[in-house]
Amino acid sequence: MKKIGMISAATLMASGVAAWADELSVVCSAEQDWCDLMVGAFEAENPDTDVLMVRKSTGETLAQIRAEAGNPKIDVWWGGTGDPHLIAAEEGLTQPSGVDTSKLLGWAQNMAEISEGRTVGIYAGALGIAYNTEILADKGIAPPECWADLADPRFEGEIQVANPNSSGTAYTELATFVQLFGEDEAMERLAAIGANVNSYTKSGSAPTKAAARGETGVSIGFMHDMVNQAAIGFPLAIVAPCEGTGYEVGAVSIIEGARNLEGAQAWVEFALRADIQSRAPEVGSFQVPSNSNASVAPQSPDLASIKLIDYDFATYGSSETRERLLARWDVEVGDPNPQQ
């Protein structure tokens, strides 16, 4: 903790001033480089504040917030798929930020409306398939065009995807399949694809990085992560599945009982600014920003050209729905080698 002149933490506490007031605890569920950029930019504008940031997946963060209810160690949760943010809001684990959402796009405002202001949309990204062109060409495997293709035996041992218990990306995939095909058929299709999966990862972006490096032939994840790897120079091709696909609205939430509420509110306002959102491509993050005045990188997937489903965030961002679907996934699809 920073020292303020020669005043000790004990003196501050005795005088009624919180000793942690110059620290802001942030959990970031976006990519590490973007987390670091946000921390650096926020501290540059707020030199009296130390941001204590850790990166965790959305599933891990939701579990931590639940475990710490009533005595939170986190002030603000930034990034990651919106469904777990909505679940946290539903369970009273987050609080309204009170920010102005008038400059945000409709899908971002929708998140705020659903959650009664407890979470706000910061970016959007579509779910897709990536494949390593060199691996598939070397093995003579025809590339996938649809979700259904991933159940074909030609992809045996070639697919990597995250576990929906820990990954918001993979939960979006699970919810997308349910909305596309109905719950029973979705589980059957996911189990059929699972027969070709070589690994279920903890992080949603890990499979695409593995495909980029040639460690697996095919990945399921968000297209903006795939664009990032292709832009670096890896031999990745990106597919918008023919049946249609779901999408995420990444979100930001203030934790109920946040110790540094003022700092958390300042972070949310900062994260929603057009100039800050426009900086994401500097670190290879190509999501579509929520501020209507923010710049959209030319590499960002064009959501208007993708066959997107009408994703039901209210239903699939509820605790009851998530718990039921994850329980069915564990039994009917399952991860034979869950990562601890």
Q: Which tens digits make up the pLDDT trace of 244-264?
A: 999 999 999 999 999 999 999
Same domain (yes/no): 174, 284:
no
| pTM for the predicted model, two decimal places | 0.86
Same domain, 182 and 260: no
Mean local confidence (pLDDT), 293-303: 95
Does the residue 2 lie in any domain?
A: no
Does residue 309 surpass a pLDDT of 70?
yes
The mean pLDDT value for 328-336 works out to: 94
Residue 211 lies in a domain: yes
Give the distance, in angstroms, between the CA of residue 153 and the centroid of all CA atoms in the same chain.
30
With 50 as the cut, is the pLDDT of residue 180 above it? yes
CA dist list (Å): 229 to 37, 90, 116, 123, 237: 18, 35, 36, 19, 10
Residue 206: its pLDDT value, please? 96
Indicate the pLDDT class of residue 14, thresholds 50, 70 and 90: very low
In a domain, 42, yes or no: yes
Q: Do 149 and 110 share a structural domain?
A: no
For residues 73-98, give the mean pLDDT: 96
Check whether 1 has a pLDDT greater than 70.
no
- One domain, residues 287 and 220: no
CATH number at residue 49: 3.40.190.10
Would you say residue 315 lies in a domain?
no
What rounded mean pLDDT belongs to the chain?
92
pLDDT of residue 22: 87
Six token digits for residue 151:
């159940």
Contacting residues for 262 by C-beta, under 8 A, at least 6 apart: 21
pLDDT category of residue 11 using cuts at 50, 70 and 90 = very low
Counted domains in the chain? 2
Q: 209 and 327: one domain? A: yes
Same domain assignment for residues 161 and 110: no
Confidence of residue 32 (pLDDT cuts 50, 70, 90): very high
Q: How far apart are CA 2 and CA 12, in angstroms?
A: 12
Tell me, yes or no, whether 76 and 147 share the same domain: no
Domain assignment present for residue 273? The answer is yes
One domain, residues 115 and 131: no
58 and 95 in a single domain? The answer is yes
Residues 195 and 325 in one domain: yes
pLDDT over 90 percentage in the chain:
92
Provide the pLDDT confidence category of residue 335 given band limits of 50, 70 and 90.
confident
Asked if residue 67 is part of any domain, the answer here is yes
Instruction: State whether 178 and 228 are in the same domain.
Output: yes
Q: Which residue segment(s) compose the domain that 41 sits in?
A: 9-124+249-300
Query: Hey, what amino acid is at 219?
Result: S
Q: What is the pLDDT of residues 265-290, one digit of tens each?
A: 999 999 999 999 999 999 999 999 99
Question: Pairing state of beta strands 119-132 and 236-239?
Answer: antiparallel
CB 186, CB 156: distance < 8 Å: no
Q: What is the mean pLDDT of residues 231-256?
A: 97
In a domain? residue 305: no
Give the model's confidence band at 88: pLDDT under 50 very low, under 70 low, under 90 confident, else very high: very high
Band of residue 339 on the pLDDT scale cut at 50, 70, 90:
low
- Residue 108 in tokens: 């971002």
Residue 4 pLDDT greater than 70, yes or no:
no
The whole-number average pLDDT for the span 80-86 is: 95
* Per-residue pLDDT tens digits for 36-79: 999 999 999 999 999 999 999 999 999 999 999 999 999 999 99
In a domain, 296, yes or no: yes
The alpha helices in 79-123, defined as continuous H runs, are: 82-90, 106-114
37 and 146 share a domain?
no
